[in-house]
Amino acid sequence: MGGPTPFPTPEAVFRKGRSAVLEGFLGQGALYHTADLSERFEVSAGENISRVLGKLSEG
């Protein structure tokens, strides 16, 4: 544990998996499930995830 991964994940596989996870977050309707956190962070978190998805798709 803590050392290098014996079988590194190819970049394309990482991008596909990471994109799937982030799209799942966006697809669940709400990122935050309390009113306070939702009001404070929902919009910016969604924008951040969308921005990362765009970068992942650029290759």
Query: How high is the pLDDT of residue 7?
Result: 81
Q: What is the DSSP secondary structure assignment for residue 28, as one 8-state letter?
A: T
Using the CB atoms, write b or e for 5-33: b if 16+ within 10 Å. eeeeeeeeeebeeeeeebeeeeeeeebee
Per-residue pLDDT reduced to its tens digit, 14-31: 999 999 999 999 999 999
CA–CA dist 12, 17 (Å, integer): 9
Per-residue pLDDT reduced to its tens digit, 35-46: 999 999 999 999
Q: Is the pLDDT of residue 4 over 80?
A: no
Q: Is the pLDDT of residue 52 over 70?
A: yes
Total-model pTM: 0.80
